[in-house]
A = this chain, B = another copy of it.
């Protein structure tokens, strides 16, 4: 068993092309012996966003704090707020972006551990 606060998890800048002002932590993952899934946390600073991309695995999200938008392939956006749960299915093109000028968007992004 493992109990860890977010502040204790190492925080790294995301260098992936298309990412802007994004930080990543992995409080629970393969390195802890998790058999299948990992809990990553992304902190997206104001004016930041994740890459606009697609992949063969799902995302299960929980928004810990902040306000943002989920950008879909159609260009449409769905607003996301603190307390929301989000499911992005495999092969659905998407981007998360922060819509606040002052507050970070912090969210859990659970994925199969092979993709953590």
Contact = CB atoms under 8 A, between A and B. Distances in A.
Interface in A37-63: 37, 39, 57-58, 60, 62
Contacts of A92: 1
Count copies of this chain in the complex.
2
A92 B88 CA distance: 30
Given A70-B3, A72-B1, A35 B85 contact: no
A80 B78 CA distance: 32
Interface of A: 1-6, 9, 27-28, 32-37, 39, 57-58, 60, 62, 64, 70, 72, 78-81, 83-90, 92, 94, 108, 110, 112
9 contacts: A1-B78, A3-B78, A3-B84, A3-B86, A5-B83, A28-B85, A34-B89, A36-B58, A39-B85
